Amino acid sequence: MIQVFITDLRDPSQANTLLDTLEASLEGLKINFDFSDTNQPFPCGHTILRTEGDDIHTEKLLYILNKSGVACSPLEERVCY
C-alpha cells in the first residue's frame, strides 16, 4: 500500500530528523520526502511525504507530524493558480 501526503515542511534538516522519528515509530514503512514543489504557499506549494508498507497508521503519522509543528494532510487533487 502507498499513501501520499502534503506537508508545509520546507527545511530538509528538519525532514531528516522527522524521518528518523517516523521510521522508529512506524516500523516496516518506507518513508521519504520530496521538496520539489515548495514555491507557493501551502497547500499549493508543499512537500510530498510518501509512505509505503503493509500497514500504514495514518493517525499515528499525522499525530507525530502535527506534534512536531508540521501541517500534514492526505494528498487531494487541488487546482492552484
Residue whose C-alpha is closest to residue 5's, from 41, 42, 39, 40: 42
**Residue 17 sits in which domain range?**
2-74
pTM above 0.85, yes or no: no
Answer yes or no: is 79 within a domain. Answer: no
Answer yes or no: is 49 within a domain. Answer: yes
Judge whether 47 and 31 are in contact, CB under 8 Å. no
Q: Which residues contact 33 (CB under 8 A, 6 or more apart)?
A: 7, 9, 12, 15, 19, 47, 48, 49, 50
Residue 38 has pLDDT above 70, yes or no: no
Q: What CATH number is associated with residue 62?
A: 3.30.70
pLDDT value at residue 21: 93
C-alpha cell at 77: 487533487
Mean per-residue pLDDT over the chain, rounded: 84
Domain count, the chain: 1
